[in-house]
Amino acid sequence: MIPRPPRSSEPTTAEADAWADVLVRRQLLHAVVPTPTGQWLVQDHPEGPVGVLASPADVLALAATIQQRTRSTRPESR
């Protein structure tokens, strides 16, 4: 895997919101909701516990982790 260059700026709320929407729409998470304090509430499934992420950067890190896990469990198509 080719490492990506470091980001030149911090992730924005809009970027985190877009990833949150994708994760929920694809049913990879049940809910991802921003709070007025800048934190994000995350829930894997409807009856599961609610987790708290501190910032948009944490939402993007979670999205990357889920994406990596999804790709690593997918059978190779080659």
**Cα separation, 14 vs 20, whole angstroms:** 10
Q: Round to whole Å and give the CA distance between 46 and 50.
A: 9
Q: Which amino acid, 55?
A: S
Q: What is the mean pLDDT of residues 49-70?
A: 95
Residue 51: name the closest of 67, 36, 32, 68 by CA: 32
Is the pLDDT at 1 greater than 70, yes or no?
A: no
DSSP category for residue 25: H
Work out the mean pLDDT of the chain and round it to a whole number. 90
pTM for the model: 0.82
